[in-house]
Each structure stands twice: as structure tokens, then as C-alpha cells.
């Protein structure tokens, strides 16, 4: 493929929420699931988040296990995958965890709506910035660029709008879901796939390829497109 093999990984509640209505990054994963996610990160070449996640949650996107980081180094890789953000306006603080935490290459895709001074600031602190002269980041072109810079295996960690757009555009190969035994509720709480939505006749169909039931009450679902 001329784009990375791409999978979405998400932890959600039994009612399909990936956060509470407060949108503060509520903990959903169990201890076992956190270990699974760390292993997925360690195996990936890059980890992608969308604008809301990048700006509001300021994620670290690093491998937590020292053993897993050392394993990557033994393979001739960097300790952490490439951190990737896509935001219409990349107004991320220069002291954010995305930029400051962990030994990793950092890449941001944005548009001309980001000020020139902010673009200069990001580049000054070592962030590679790709700018689209368009209202929104061209996700097809982003994928081509990621492939060119060495991302063959891309992990997507949301949020819901980014997940939906990538799936809608046919840019996702697999979806991995940890379903936690809890309910958040909330009509405005984010879900795995937000965005504009689709009518029933346009629904994206997936094939369930595996299911695991864990002692913590959670379930792992694996789907392919």
C-alpha cells in the first residue's frame, strides 16, 4: 500500500462512550488493557491523534514500559513511535507533554489557519510541521506523507472525529475495542466515531475477527474492514 497499515484502538464504555460529557480524558482502561495498549504502541511506527485530543488532552503518546522501549532500541528503532497530531489550528502549548515528554520524533499536520509565528515556534522546538493550504488537513495526503517518512504501521488513538473521518475515507484497516463494564451516559459524551455521521444505507460495514472476554469484566473486540 502507499499508506500505512492503519488501526484504530479505543477503550469505551458499554454504552459506547470514550469519555464523559466533561471531556477531560476519563480513565476507562483496566490495568490489563493499559498493558495491551502499551504493547500496541511499542509495535507501531507512529501514533496519531486528532486536533481535539492533541489540544485538550495533550497526550504523551509514549511507551510506558522500559522493557518495551529497550526492545525497540534493540531492533534499531527509537524508544518511542513517532508522535503525530493533525489539527486545523495547531495552537498546542510548546511545553505540552506531546512535545516535551519522551524521546520521539514529533510531527504535526495542520493548515494555513495556524499562525506563522506558531509554525515557527513549533519548528524551533523540533516539531516537523506539514501545512495544507486548505480549510482542513488532507488526510489522504497525510497518509502518503506518513508512509514516506517511515510509518508503515500506524496506531490511531482518536478522538471520535478523527476516527470517523479516517474510516469514512477508507483509510482504516482494523479497529480494536476494549469495552469496559461501566456506563457514562450523556448525549454529548464522545463516542468511537463522531463527526457528521452516516445514513443507514451508507453505514460502514466491518467483519468481527476475534473476541476476548477478560476476568476484569472487559471484552476485546477486533474488527476488519
Burial label for 103, CB within 10 Å (0-12, 13-18, 19+), is exposed
Distance CA 41, CA 53 (A): 17
Per-residue pLDDT at 184? 98
pLDDT averaged over the chain? 96
**H/E segment holding residue 132:** strand 128-132
Per-residue pLDDT tens over the stretch 42-55: 999 999 999 999 99
pLDDT tens column, 150-165: 999 999 998 999 999 9
pLDDT band at residue 23 using 50, 70 and 90 as cut-offs: confident
Which of 193, 196, 87 lies closest to 135, judged by CA? Answer: 87
pLDDT at 117 over 90: yes
Judged against a pLDDT cut of 90, whether residue 107 lies above it is answered with yes
- The per-residue pLDDT for 57 is 87
Q: Can you give the pLDDT at residue 200?
A: 95
pLDDT in the model for residue 218: 97
Share of the chain above pLDDT 70, in %: 100
Q: What pLDDT is recorded for position 58?
A: 85
Q: Which pLDDT score is estimated for 99?
A: 96
Q: How confident is the model at residue 36 (pLDDT cuts 50, 70, 90)?
A: very high
CA angle 133, 2, 111 (to 5 degrees): 15
| CATH number for domain 5-224, candidates 3.90.1150.10, 3.40.430.10, 3.30.470.10, 3.30.750.24 | 3.40.430.10
Grid coordinates given for 46: 507512529
Q: Where are the domains of the chain?
A: 5-224
Percentage of the chain beyond pLDDT 90 is: 94
- Confidence band for 32, pLDDT divided at 50, 70 and 90: very high
Amino acid at each position: 500500500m502507499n499508506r500505512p497499515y492503519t488501526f484504530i484502538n479505543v477503550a469505551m464504555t458499554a454504552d459506547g462512550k470514550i469519555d464523559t460529557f466533561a471531556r477531560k480524558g476519563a480513565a476507562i482502561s483496566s490495568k490489563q488493557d493499559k498493558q495491551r495498549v502499551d504493547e500496541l504502541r511499542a509495535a507501531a511506527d507512529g501514533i496519531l491523534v486528532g486536533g481535539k485530543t492533541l489540544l485538550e488532552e495533550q497526550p504523551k503518546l509514549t511507551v510506558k514500559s522500559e522493557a518495551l522501549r529497550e526492545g525497540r532500541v534493540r531492533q534499531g528503532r527509537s524508544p518511542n513511535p513517532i508522535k503525530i497530531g493533525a489539527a486545523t489550528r495547531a495552537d498546542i502549548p510548546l511545553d505540552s507533554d506531546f512535545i516535551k515528554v519522551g524521546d520521539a520524533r514529533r510531527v504535526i499536520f495542520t493548515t494555513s489557519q495556524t499562525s506563522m509565528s506558531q509554525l515557527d515556534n513549533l519548528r524551533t522546538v523540533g516539531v516537523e510541521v506539514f501545512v495544507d493550504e486548505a480549510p482542513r488537513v488532507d488526510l489522504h495526503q497525510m497518509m502518503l506523507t506518513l508512509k514516506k517518512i517511515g510509518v508503515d504501521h500506524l496506531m490511531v488513538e482518536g478522538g471520535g472525529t478523527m476516527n470517523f473521518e479516517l474510516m469514512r475515507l477508507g483509510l482504516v484497516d482494523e479497529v480494536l475495542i476494549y469495552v469496559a463494564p461501566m456506563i457514562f451516559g450523556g448525549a454529548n459524551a464522545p463516542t468511537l466515531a463522531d463527526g457528521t455521521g452516516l445514513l443507514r444505507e451508507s453505514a460502514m460495514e466491518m467483519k468481527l475477527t476475534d473476541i476476548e472476554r477478560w476476568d476484569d469484566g472487559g471484552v476485546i473486540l477486533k474488527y476488519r474492514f
